[in-house]
Amino acid sequence: MPSPIQNPQCSIPASFRSAFLLILTLSATSQLPRLAAADGEVVSLRREPLQLLSAEKFQVDLSLHPLRLQSINATADGQVLNVQVAPGEAVAIQRDCVRLDDTRQQEVVRRATALMEVAKIELKIAGKGGDEDAEALAKAKVEVAEAELKLATLDLEALNCRSPFAGLVVEQRAYPGQIVRMGDPLLILADTSELTAQVPVDRSSTKVGQEIEILTDQNAVKGKVTALLPPTDAIAPLRQIIPSLATAVVIIDNANSKLVPGQAVYSRLVPQDAVTLVPADVISSHTEGRRKVQVIRNEIVRDVVIEALAQKGTDKVYISG
């Protein structure tokens, strides 16, 4: 009898004649057992070894990020009096967040208020004297006093740092008693109404504006592709199995606040099992929209559910399963 290397053909029942069978459990030098055909008819199958690639080399770290991330900065030089919110707390728009010491500025406002009253009294007296120039001068003093009071009031309000939009406090950078300069970051605020993720996609089958599904550690969610960019360093390992690899910027609606920044994201293109390259025509439909291949194990043809990752050329597909 010829050796398996000399004769890579074998017999299988005619009932499997229409299926292309993958031999995953046999090496290139193993002998495929003969299976008796009910009607004596046989078909021949040529075996080829499959090269399995470890899934570990393709693992990438993906997560959700806020679409808008902004720091709440000190609007004046001063000392932090109190911080009224904490990391992880949701805040409404224009919520009081950090208060700087306003003792001195309150006195400035009180002085400006008194000076405005003085100016009004002077205007009243000048009006009774009948001197037009004196009255005009008094009116000008009132206007100056009003402006000084408005400026002093604005400076007082600036010591109360508020949230520019509704969001989630994700970081605290200032604490009571700390001396800060104008522009120093006090808190980091994230707008979580929409989240974004950069995920690997096959550029040949993905378009800007398209809605795609991504997986989180809880469930699958839909998002819209807003941009297709070159592969980032984070997803570069996938280039070996996805020739037309690209980075998709995906925006996800999070009005219900079910998702949080930093939550893990998974892509179906990132294999969780060993990867191999197979002819495209060996892949067939399975239940619930899944894909499968047929594998011979222990003389039995079995269906194996797989994930079709990406196509190579016109007749090859990388699969994992």
What is the secondary structure of 93-115 as a DSSP string?
Answer: TT-EEEEE--HHHHHHHHHHHHH
Calpha distance 80→6 (Å, rounded): 84
Say what the pLDDT of residue 283 is: 82
Q: How many CB atoms lie within 10 A of CB 298?
A: 7
Q: How many CB atoms lie within 10 A of CB 294?
A: 16
Calpha distance 239→303 (Å, rounded): 28
Say what the pLDDT of residue 148 is: 95
Question: Is residue 49 helix, strand or coil?
Answer: coil
12 pLDDT higher than 50: no
Say what the pLDDT of residue 17 is: 33
**List of residues 6+ apart from 155 with CB closer than 8 A:** 76, 105, 108
Calpha distance 122→134 (Å, rounded): 9
CB 5 within 8 A of CB 32: no
> Apex CA 298: angle with CA 296 and CA 304, to 5°?
40
E strands, the chain, where?
Answer: 9-13, 21-22, 42-46, 65-73, 78-83, 90-91, 96-100, 160-162, 167-172, 179-180, 185-202, 211-216, 220-229, 245-253, 265-266, 275-279, 284-285, 291-297, 300-312, 316-320
pLDDT in tens, 294-304: 777 777 777 88
Q: pTM above the 0.85 mark?
A: no
pLDDT in tens, 117-169: 999 999 888 888 778 888 899 899 999 999 999 999 999 999 999 999 999 99
The phi, psi pair for 245, rounded to 5°, reads: -65, 140
Average pLDDT, the chain: 81
Least confident span in 35-39, 78-82, 198-202: 35-39
Say what the pLDDT of residue 86 is: 94
Per-residue pLDDT averaged across 227-244, rounded?
Answer: 85
Say what the pLDDT of residue 287 is: 75
CB 70 within 8 A of CB 185: no
**pLDDT tier at 276, thresholds 50, 70, 90:** confident
Q: Among positive and negative, which fits the CA dihedral 20, 26, 32, 38?
A: negative
Which residue type is seen at 175? Y
Say what the pLDDT of residue 256 is: 86
Say what the pLDDT of residue 14 is: 36
Q: Which residue has the higher pLDDT, 23 or 178?
A: 178
**pLDDT tier at 284, thresholds 50, 70, 90:** confident
Closest of 69, 70, 68, 65 to residue 197, by C-alpha = 65
Least confident span in 52-66, 221-235, 289-303: 289-303
For the record, the structure tokens of 146 come out as: 């009003």
312 pLDDT higher than 70: yes
Calpha distance 226→204 (Å, rounded): 16
For the record, the structure tokens of 239 come out as: 């280039």
> Apex CA 215: angle with CA 213 and CA 218, to 5°?
130
Calpha distance 241→58 (Å, rounded): 9
Say what the pLDDT of residue 49 is: 67
Least confident span in 188-192, 198-202, 238-242, 264-268: 238-242
